[in-house]
Amino acid sequence: MFKLFVDIWQGIVSIFKGFVVTGRSMFRKPVTIQYPLQKAAMTQRFRGMADLRVEKCISCLQCVRICPTAALDLTSVTNPETKKKALESFCFNAELCCFCGLCQDVCPTKAIFLNALYEVAYYKRSDVTAIDLMAPDKYAHVGVLAAGKGKP
């Protein structure tokens, strides 16, 4: 009989403790966000998709050479008078990329960088394996402002 009263008392106490925990959480700032209506801001060091500031690229090929997975491929033409190279094409294979960041680390002009894009679902495989980094709207269909991270 005594044990029954102890059990009932413990049950009441545990319910009360539950209410206290719930009540405290009701007035705390939420740690979650309403994704996908709200999007989390990525940190400066976040490594998203490879992106390019076309005007800064000098076609030195350092990013292509250092890439451990051969995810980058570019072609360029040399101006016979100025001897300067100009980009012709710059292709990124996101399927091969391991997001190591070596390309952006080695780039002497900070032309290539890993952006803040993390929603990278595509309908066709070919869209992932051959992303034209020179196209300004290359990530527009994914719906996130890719260059919003403010990298230098």
Query: What residue ranges bind ligand SF4 (CB under 6 A)?
Result: 50, 57-63, 66-69, 71-72, 97-103, 106-107, 109, 111-112, 114
Taking the C-alpha atoms of residue 107 and residue 94, their distance in angstroms, rounded to an integer, is 18
Q: Write down the number of H helices and E strands in the chain.
A: 4, 5
Nearer to ligand SF4 (CB atom), residue 10 or residue 69:
69
Taking the C-alpha atoms of residue 139 and residue 147, their distance in angstroms, rounded to an integer, is 10
Taking the C-alpha atoms of residue 59 and residue 52, their distance in angstroms, rounded to an integer, is 12
Nearer to ligand SF4 (CB atom), residue 103 or residue 146:
103
CB 49 → ligand SF4: shortest distance, Å?
9
Nearer to ligand SF4 (CB atom), residue 91 or residue 142:
91
What length is written for the chain? Answer: 152
CB 39 → ligand SF4: shortest distance, Å?
22
Which amino acid type is present at position 63?
A: C
CB 35 → ligand SF4: shortest distance, Å?
25
CB 56 → ligand SF4: shortest distance, Å?
7
> Residue 48: which of 59, 39, 57 has the closest Cα?
39
Nearer to ligand SF4 (CB atom), residue 32 or residue 129:
129
| Residue 79 · residue 87 · CB < 8 Å | no
